[in-house]
Amino acid sequence: MTLINPNTSLKVLYETDFNLWLETIANLLKNGQLDQLDIDNLIEEIEGMSRSEKDALESNLRILLMHLLKWQYQQSKRSNSWLYTIREHRKRIQKAFKKSPSLKPYFNDIFAESYQDARELAADETGLDIKIFPHNCPFIKVDVINSDYLPN
């Protein structure tokens, strides 16, 4: 472990050398020195990790839904690139569920809003009128993350 100057507080270290702060916090935890932890910043980082996981899930779902819409409504322009994007973002979602099963309820919570975002993105990217894409999602949630599913 890299030693920190005893006169440097963990709060200062957090602002000046984040990696060293992480290593120091990990060592304090390993050694049971809980009274020396920088609790406020530790809580902030843990909460931030949760937000990041949720943000990534939402982003992957939006992109996946957009490409499923493009696949369904622009059949003449289907490409391997679209297929790759669909597969990649499904894998990311499935991996997130495997690592953090507690994200599944969040997936359900954000599905409708993510679909509305995907409609807008699909309209922007394709140049099609947004009204072409149904207001309600035409895909069943389980199909969206099913590796074998592609809309007609």
- Given this model, what pLDDT does residue 8 score? 67
| Block residue for tokens 């592609």 | 150
- 47 class by beta-carbon count within 10 Å (0-12 exposed, 13-18 middle, 19+ buried): exposed
Q: What angle do CA 49, 118, 132 make, to 5 degrees?
A: 175
The amino acid at residue 18 is F
What are the pLDDT digits (tens) for 119-147?
A: 999 999 999 999 999 999 999 999 999 99
- Given this model, what pLDDT does residue 142 score? 97
pLDDT score of 114 more than 60: yes
Do the beta carbons of residue 10 and residue 25 sit within 8 Å? yes
Nearby residues of 103 by Cβ (< 8 Å), 6 or more positions away: 53, 54, 57, 96, 97
Q: What is the pTM of this model?
A: 0.80
| Block residue for tokens 């969040």 | 106
- Given this model, what pLDDT does residue 5 score? 56
What are the pLDDT digits (tens) for 83-95?
A: 999 999 999 999 9
Residue 48 pLDDT class (50, 70, 90 cuts) = confident
pLDDT score of 7 more than 90: no
**Mean pLDDT, rounded, for 36-52:** 91
| Block residue for tokens 């590796």 | 147
pLDDT score of 31 more than 60: yes
Nearby residues of 34 by Cβ (< 8 Å), 6 or more positions away: 28
- Given this model, what pLDDT does residue 3 score? 54
Task: Return the closest-CA partner of residue 10 out of 30, 47, 35.
Answer: 35
